[in-house]
Amino acid sequence: MSSAASAPEVNAPSSFKRKSDDIGWKYGYLADPNNPSKVTCKRCKKEVNGGIYRLKQHVAGIGNTCGKCFHATDEEKAECAQAIQSAQDKKKAKRAHNDDVRKEVNIDGNGDGSVASPLVVDDGSVEVVGSSSRPNTLGPMDKFANPIDPPKDATTTQAKRQQSITAALFKERLWKAKQYLARWMYQSNIAFNAIQNDAFKRFCEAIGRFGPGFEIPPQYELGGKLLKEEVERTKELLRAHEEERVLTGCSVMTDAWSDRKRRSIMNLCSHCQLGTSFLESREASDEPHTAELIFNYVDGCIERMGEENVVQVVTDNASNNMAAKEMLKEKRPRIFWSACATHTINLMLQSIGTDPKFKQTIDKAKAATIFIYSHHRTLALMRKWTKKRDIIRPGITRFASAYLTLQSMHKKRNELRNMTWSSEWTNNNLTKAGKGKAAGTTLGSRAFWNGVSRCLKVFGPLVHLLRMVDSDRASMAFVYGQILSAKKVIKEVVYDNKESEYKPIIEAMDKKMKNRLDGPLQLAAYLLNPFYSYADRGIFLDETIMDGFFTAVETFYHCDGDKQSQVINVDFEKFKKQEGFFGKFAARHGCRDMNFSPAGWWATYGCHTPTLQRMAIRILSLTASASGCERNWSTFEGIHTKKRNRLDVNRLENLVYVQFNARLMEKQEKNKEKNNQIDVLVANDAIHVQDWLIEEAYGPEYPVNVDNDDIIDVETGLAWSMEDEVTEPNRPRRTRTVRELYEDDFKSDSEGDVDVNDEEIEYEDDENEVGVDPMDDLDEDAA
């Protein structure tokens, strides 16, 4: 029972609520929508200064700064106290991580960096350089030390005098040091979140340990010796990937790309259980991309890696790739060649999107967003009603942009409808006729929002699958089974088994997946994954699945009849009948959650069937997509900008090798600390959202002005006439745009983690909605 009587809860107006997942908003609302630092408690009606963090303290009865809520129940107090403790634990973990990063720095070559190196300065005194210990506490004499910005007439010795920066005693000097850093970032156009990079933190620690007199490396060293050393260091760090390839096999992925100088570049990536790594690239500007060229490039990579370590090659379905597939099959018949699942599922979604009942809704949504984003006044009005949140969400493909934008509009449907009914909208001359009137009718129509809901329900299961296969996980084990699950959801949940409704959608899916996602490798992975075969024994009776499995065995153990017979007639029978370790309680219960590792399951329970075990582990460790190559193009495009387009191919390859693989390893470390998920559909580049901003964006003509009102860029908020880089929708087909997948590497602190600033107004964005279940919130009436 509660120790306090619960007061009736106050239903605050929607404008007084914050779009946040913080548990504190369950118990409070903004006293003033223009002042986020003042929050009213729903239980006792007390107005608390200091934002939502102080409100949680108030409800939990912690501290003496905001008083205690006597109407909160014990459960509510415990919930808020737990939220506060969780935020504090997160801050402690972050500080511990930063301390660990600092300890990793070693500029002395002594292993742990604990031994300092003496430095004799001009006046004969000896200073300690490179010590890993904290600086000595400053004493009274330190007030005579020179400021960090010495006068122009200071001597060299005075200027280089060791500065001990202690925030507690010399805040002014610390602030000046930060000003120098900020000035460099502003002038060099460095993103603010770059300071969260661990490599930058190590750099700052190394500079601090070195002391005054640090010499900036010249450009030729950065692009020469230092870059080569970093490449060798990265190769050493990736040695674990090489070892994993030997144990569990790997996939080889290849793709082609044209850079800003129209140079054609081909690259190779490898994927194993540890993730994707960049291998190499080559310029092929003067060579046609024939099947023979692709075959020779892939075959050479397989030869260097060892044929016994490569299980499959993954590419898109271009005709030259399919011809290269036949050439590889003839030379290396035991290696599979798979179509990219991400590419195939996108084709499914695009095909379904052409159905009139979906296309009509998408076209109406596009027309509305085009009108809103084409005029300064309507754009400002929309951002006012949505609390400065955009409704357009750039995605990695045009369809991903369509889905994410529809999802964003659906979440803001009440704000958008209220906007069209407001006097600011109805009194605007732009909205009284033509496209403006049509946009208002669309956004105020209940039928339109029902159509949006229907689109999201149908596309949702496939988008969920797209997120899975487009990630860096070993998705081969689940791709075929999840396609079957998506079909079942569409049939039974979305259309309630009405064949006339779901039949066109299922036919479109089957047409696109045929000979792409229903091959022997996908079917064998589906059969060998106990998540499916233990739950449905009928899988073993399916002729199509068993035929695919037999073909996969014959390919994997090519020309080895003894092993083929051992797998099919002995080992597989034990797995099917759950004999030996396969029948253990832990084995049967350890495969009921999709988050388990099928390859790890076989490594644990398949010891008494070693021939089948080896095959199962290698197949279930595979990726189903070539997304790693496209993420690699993001790194290429980010490095090879117009300001750096003189980079030669070798230096470009080295920079990509270091940057892409460094990000990969950093992401792996963060995933070990916390199971954070990235929405792989979201992109920073707006190239795939052009047709939601302007009419005929991908057509032969590209209008720059709409009704004499300059177009506003969704990313920068600037007029497009001010940005010479934006209007490039007609790039060559093989040109890849920046696909930033590491955006949440540098997440801002949540509300409960930051110090309260009474004067700062924060506006929520849509980042906390990334990765939500597409089926959530769709059953709510749009009215």
519's CB contacts (< 8 A; 6+ apart) are 336, 338, 339, 548
pTM above 0.75, yes or no: no
Domain boundaries of the chain, sorted by first residue: 14-103, 232-282+292-340+626-673, 341-466+686-695+705-726
- For 202, what's the count of Cα atoms within 13 Å in the CB-facing half-sphere? 12
pLDDT score at 769: 39
* Rounded Cα distance, 57 and 71, in Å: 14
Q: Which two tokens stand for residue 771?
A: 């990765």
* Rounded Cα distance, 505 and 368, in Å: 26
* Rounded Cα distance, 691 and 407, in Å: 17
pLDDT tens, 753-782?
A: 333 333 333 333 333 333 334 344 444 443
Closest among 733, 729, 737 to 700, alpha carbons compared: 729
pLDDT score at 721: 35
- Asked if residues 634 and 713 have their Cβ atoms less than 8 Å apart, the reply is no
Instruction: Let me know if 134 is exposed, middle or buried by CB neighbors in 10 A (0-12, 13-18, 19+).
Output: exposed
In this structure, which topology does domain 232-282+292-340+626-673 adopt according to CATH? Nucleotidyltransferase; domain 5 (3.30.420)
* Rounded Cα distance, 568 and 470, in Å: 32
* Rounded Cα distance, 570 and 560, in Å: 15
| Count of residues making up the chain | 783
* Rounded Cα distance, 721 and 714, in Å: 13
- Asked if residues 251 and 340 have their Cβ atoms less than 8 Å apart, the reply is no
Q: Which two tokens stand for residue 374?
A: 């084409």
CA distances (Å), 145 to each of 82, 123, 168, 170, in order?
A: 47, 15, 17, 11
The per-residue DSSP string of 340-396 comes to -HHHHHHHHHHHHHTSHHHHHHHHHHHHHHHHHHTSHHHHHHHHHHTTS--S---BS
Question: How many C-beta atoms surround the C-beta of residue 706 within 10 A?
Answer: 17
Low-confidence ranges of the chain (pLDDT < 50): 1-8, 10, 14-15, 110-138, 140-141, 143-145, 157-168, 676, 687, 697-783
pLDDT tens, 457-474?
A: 999 888 888 888 887 788
pLDDT score at 705: 33
CA angle 72, 78, 84 (to 5 degrees): 110
* Rounded Cα distance, 238 and 476, in Å: 23
Closest among 431, 319, 441 to 377, alpha carbons compared: 431
In the chain, what is the straight-line distance between the N-terminal and C-terminal CA atoms, in Å?
39
Which contiguous run of DSSP H or E holds residue 255? Answer: strand 250-258
Helix spans in 249-307 (H): 291-305
CA distances (Å), 377 to each of 365, 466, 710, in order?
A: 19, 37, 11
752's CB contacts (< 8 A; 6+ apart) are 22, 24, 52, 53, 56, 83, 84, 86, 87
